[in-house]
Amino acid sequence: MSVKYVPVQWNRNKWMYDGFLLVGVGLFLGFFLHIRPDFLSGNDPRINAQILNARAFGVCAFLMLSIILSIGPLARLDPRFSALLYNRRHFGVMTAAVALTHFGFILNWYFAFSKSNKYEALLFANTNYGQIAGFPFEMFGLFALICLLILSTTSHDFWLKFLTAPVWKRLHYLIYPAYAAVVAHVALGMLQDASGNVFPALFVVAALIVAGLHVAAFVHDRRHGDPVAEPVAEGWFRICKASDIREGRARIGLLPNGERVAVFRQDDKLSAISNACAHQNGPLGEGRIVDCLVTCPWHGFNYDVRSGRSPAPFTEKIPTYNLKVHDAEVYVDPNANEPGTYVEPVEVPPLEGEA
């Protein structure tokens, strides 16, 4: 969370996260440039140092983007992967930087010796758009790079507030056409001239993993999605049995208006809040509560489950819901309270035989 806009509000986790990314990128580039350059060159004498550099940074950017797109479905398939969502924007910014370096090597080698301006040469040297063989695959890469630069430059919370969350979220869906463009860029470009077997295998496996994880997550959501709240008398909706909610955790229910409510259990008392974090609509119901504060698994925003308010000095607020327990069943009023409204927690009655 942040009280005011700063370029980056660093903390120990962010330093470790970014340090790990830098070390990973350095090791990857060191391996493919100095230890086993033949993996990307195939010992082809035409592959000089400039081309090898371009390939190494390009392959690195592609694999980084593949990992980024795998984190979301992995977290939906297994909540233990939710920790990887934290600081994922840093991962995206670094990927854009690696992709931009790849672009620089390409531009300064393949187009720097043209009689025309190298940027003009990039755009107009090949205009065979009507055929597959010889298609100007560079345009796919350029489109993907532009998308990554847009996403990285708008990744700060200032743009989230300025554009509003719905617009910001739709803008960042550009990651999907960007990845599709990268796949087309590689398939029509480097893959056509690959003299080794290592990169084609990496490319195919990575693309299949990304596609497979998204399909698996979609099927999982269809089969195991949030249960629809069941309507009962007087406008209340049944969420679940009280015994179904573990201490410190929540059960999520889908309300008739499409909103999701998260019912938390803390010290055998229940509280209900919106499942959507005020920051980026992160799934609060997947977070754990400590001392009545739930932490969003995406970016660490905290909320008091009794009031939907972030602890001072932070000012974020989310809606709360009235609830009741009857015959060991949990019921929620689908009409949300104003964000930040305190609701007294409801005690969970003991099971039969307990006293």
Alpha-carbon 274 to chain mean position? 20
Quote the mean pLDDT of the chain. 86
Pairwise CA distance, residues 110 & 249, whole Å? 56
Residue 344, judged by CB atoms within 10 A of its CB (0-12, 13-18, 19+), counts as exposed
The pTM for the full model equals: 0.76
Are 159 and 168 spatial neighbours (Cβ–Cβ below 8 Å)?
Answer: yes
Nearest Cα to 14, choosing from 98, 90, 82?
90
Residue 3: its pLDDT value, please? Answer: 46
Residue 166, judged by CB atoms within 10 A of its CB (0-12, 13-18, 19+), counts as exposed
More confident call, 45 vs 58: 58
Over residues 71-124, the pLDDT tens digits come to 989 988 887 787 787 778 889 999 999 999 999 999 998 887 777 888 888 888
Q: For 47-54, what is the mean pLDDT?
A: 89
Q: Tell me the C-alpha to C-alpha distance, in Å, between residue 183 and each of 125, 204, 207.
A: 22, 9, 8
Q: How confident is the model at residue 38 (pLDDT cuts 50, 70, 90)?
A: confident
- Which two structure tokens, joined as six digits, stand for 350? 């003991």
What is the SS3 assignment for 215?
helix
CATH of domain 230-347: 2.102.10.10
- Which two structure tokens, joined as six digits, stand for 19? 């340090």
Over residues 285-328, the pLDDT tens digits come to 888 787 789 988 877 789 999 999 999 888 899 999 999 998 88
Q: Compute the residue count for the chain.
A: 355
- Which two structure tokens, joined as six digits, stand for 223? 């089969």
pLDDT at 197 over 80: no
Pairwise CA distance, residues 278 & 298, whole Å? 12
Q: What is the DSSP string of 39-65?
A: HHHTT-TT--HHHHHHHHHHHHHHHHH
Nearest Cα to 60, choosing from 100, 11, 19?
100
**Residue type, position 330, single letter:** V
Which positions ≥6 away from 207 have C-beta within 8 Å?
A: 66, 183
Over residues 205-255, the pLDDT tens digits come to 999 999 999 999 989 877 766 666 676 767 788 988 888 888 888 888 888
Pairwise CA distance, residues 182 & 191, whole Å? 12
